[in-house]
Structure 1
Amino acid sequence: MPLLERDQPPSLEDLEEAFNVEAVTKEFFDAYRYALHEVIIKNLKHKNINEIPYEKKHSFAQ
């Protein structure tokens, strides 16, 4: 159950676990991998990549 949906305030241990760098980093890269594959790569496959300006092709990483 998410921390904010609980009846009681989160404990220090709950907060440390929620903001654990490894967990946050994994979650970020899982979301990034999904975005890269599902949104960017699939859209580029439907277009001629040579017609897309260089700046637009690389703007997702900024």
Structure 2
Amino acid sequence: MGKDMILEQLNYCFCRNSIIYDVARVIFLSNIKTTIQNNARFTNQHTISQTADILELVLKRYEDSLQ
């Protein structure tokens, strides 16, 4: 599954317009990203790096959408 496909699925899952949902998304994605980075030393570095990159892109999109 490529990055674009994963991003498309994440965008579909988080397609709500309410500001509350937007804020919750950013908090949720920030927490996941932090957890992944904290656990990276215990798992496959390559997979963790790719997952963190994808979450970073999604988080950036939603942070931009709040402005």
Fold shared by both chains (TM-score > 0.5): no
Task: State the structure with bigger RCO (CA 8 A, min sep 6), 1 or 2.
Answer: 2
Larger Rg: 1 or 2?
Answer: 1
What TM-score, normalized by structure 1, do the two folds share? 0.36
What TM-score, normalized by structure 2, do the two folds share? 0.34
